[in-house]
Structure 1
Amino acid sequence: MAADKPTPSSNLDDDDYPAYTMGRAAEMLGTTPAFLRAIGEAKLIVPLRSEGGHRRYSRYQLRLATRARELVDQGTSVEAACRIIILEDQLEEARRINEQLRNGMSPDPQTDA
């Protein structure tokens, strides 16, 4: 349905919209495309691909990449940094679900609507 299709302006508010090219993402993070490829290979982020096959990154993915860069800059290996961030993300999700359960809410977003 046409009413369900997001408008271009609604994409600006979507943290998961793949708006940034690899070059722009690397520039914004002050890193290299090779770093973005490395954290992709470590399965921290999986960029979406444009029709031409180019990597595209979302704001959420750039936040994860920023955290990875901070850890790497402190001397952590890329693989270890990615694992740490994945575990931090899982912990945050578990805390969110626990809070919802404590408040009597369903942890499943599909049933909260």
Structure 2
Amino acid sequence: MSPEPRDIDDKFDDEDYPAYSMGRAAEMLGTTPGFLRSLDRTEVIAPLRSSGGHRRYSRYQLRIASRVRELVDSGTPLDAACRIIILEDQLKEAQRLNAEMRADHET
């Protein structure tokens, strides 16, 4: 039984859908699979695993990996770059929640 066309479109639009293999992700980022494995070890990203145990990355995770690489390439140690990314993500989420609470309060 093949998936409905709409199901496929939903997956392409889903930022969190694990669509990219490690090799493809590394190629897209211009890095090595080892760099991606190091991000998994630091737990800044946690790729899903295929039924065969292979890492699969989402577009969201690739954006995080790209930002880490940018920081590392500019001389930031990997562990510090990962911490910066986590803090940036937490700040963004706090700002989103704050905006929601303000909007709710104004209505």
What is the TM-score when the length of structure 2 is the normalising length?
0.90
Seq. identity, %:
65
Distance in 1 (alpha carbons) for counterparts of 2:85 and 2:52: 30
For 1:10, the equivalent position in structure 2 comes to 10
Aligned AA for 2:76?
T
1:23 partnered with 2:23: yes
Q: 1:17-36 CA distances to partner (integer Å, 9 max, x unpaired)?
A: 00000000000000000000
CA RMSD of aligned residues (A): 1.1
Q: How many Å separate the matches in 2 of 1:34 and 1:80?
A: 18
Give the equivalent residue in structure 2 for 1:108. Answer: none
Match of 2:104? 104
- Specify the alignment match of 2:55 in structure 1: 55
Alignment match, 2:65: 65
- Paired residues, what number? 100
Q: State the Cα distance separating 1:62 from its structure 2 match.
A: 0.1
Distance in structure 1 (CA, Å) of the matches to 2:80 and 2:37: 15
The more displaced of 7-16 and 62-71 is 7-16
* 1:36 counterpart residue number: 36
Structure 1 runs (4+) deviating above 3 angstroms are none
Distance (Å, rounded) in 1 between the aligned partners of 2:88 and 2:74: 17
What is the Cα deviation at residue 8 of structure 1? 1.8
Deviation per CA, 1:15-72: give whole Å up to 9, x if none.
0000000000000000000000011111100000000000000000000000000000
